[in-house]
Amino acid sequence: MLDLIWLILFLGGILVGALTGKIELVTGTFFSGANEGVKVCLDLIGLMTLWLGMLEIAKQSGLITFIARCMRPLTGILFPGVPPEHPALGAIIMNISANILGLGNAATPFGLKAMEELQKINPDPSTASDAMCTFLALNTSCLTLIPATIIGVRVAAGSSNPTEIVAPTIIATGLSMVIIIIIDILWRTLLRPWYRRFKRC
């Protein structure tokens, strides 16, 4: 599926560019796009280093394990494949909390740490585990209490009530998070076993 989307983006872009006479623009975009990708990574280096340092202190002082233990009833349902008190769970909870509070800068380092920990207990290192899929589903559908960036945009544009969009955002993100959790659990427990049996027949 990823292959297909990537091919459509790449080939579709080149084709449309060629047909509409924008091929020089496309050529230029290859280089600027590649540069942009590296620039995002460069921005991430400092942030990652700072947060991973802080996270190590939190981990060695036992805070991460403590948080993981408190959330066990919830993580037990969502991540049945991850042993209780595994450091991955602590990092996952920190990532989701950062997302809920709208702290994008903090969320990424926690998330990457969580992936690293989940990879340690992944039986096939080139394929995503169930826990990874659940984690990323939570991450992308996450409840947002403070859409800080867009409130800033609205303030700058002179809105008479810049925060009026907060309530619908909270309702929409909360609902979509619940829906995604249900779909993920249904897929793991019911639909996938059926699908596999069907394929074997």
Partner 1 sequence: MLELILAKISNWAIPVLFCVFLLLGWARRLPVYETFIQGAAEGFQIAVRIIPYLVAMFVAIKVFRVSGAMDMLARLCAPVLGILGAPPEVLPLALMRPLSGSSALGIATELVKTYGPDSFIGRLASVMQGTTDTTFFVLTIYFGSVGIKKYRHALALGLIADLTGLLLSIFLCNLIFK
The site map against partner 1 for 62-101 (x = CB under 8 A) is: xx-------------------------------------x
Among 74, 175, 186, 190, binds partner 1 (CB under 8 A): 175
Using CB under 8 A as the binding rule, whether residue 151 contacts partner 1 is answered as yes
Q: Which range touches partner 1 (CB under 8 A), out of 74-82, 84-92, 147-155? A: 147-155
Using CB under 8 A as the binding rule, whether residue 166 contacts partner 1 is answered as yes
Three-state DSSP class for residue 1: coil
Contact predicate 178/120, CB 8 Å: no
Q: Write down the least CB distance from residue 75 to partner 1, Å.
A: 18
In the numeric block, which tokens belong to residue 70? 């408190």
14 contacts: CB under 8 Å, gap ≥ 6? 26
In the numeric block, which tokens belong to residue 115? 């992936």
Within residues 6-25, the interface with partner 1 by CB under 8 A covers: 6, 9-10, 12-17, 20, 22, 25
Using CB under 8 A as the binding rule, whether residue 37 contacts partner 1 is answered as yes
Q: Which residues of 122-137 are buried (b: 16+ CB within 10 A; e: fewer)?
A: beeeeeebbbbebbeb
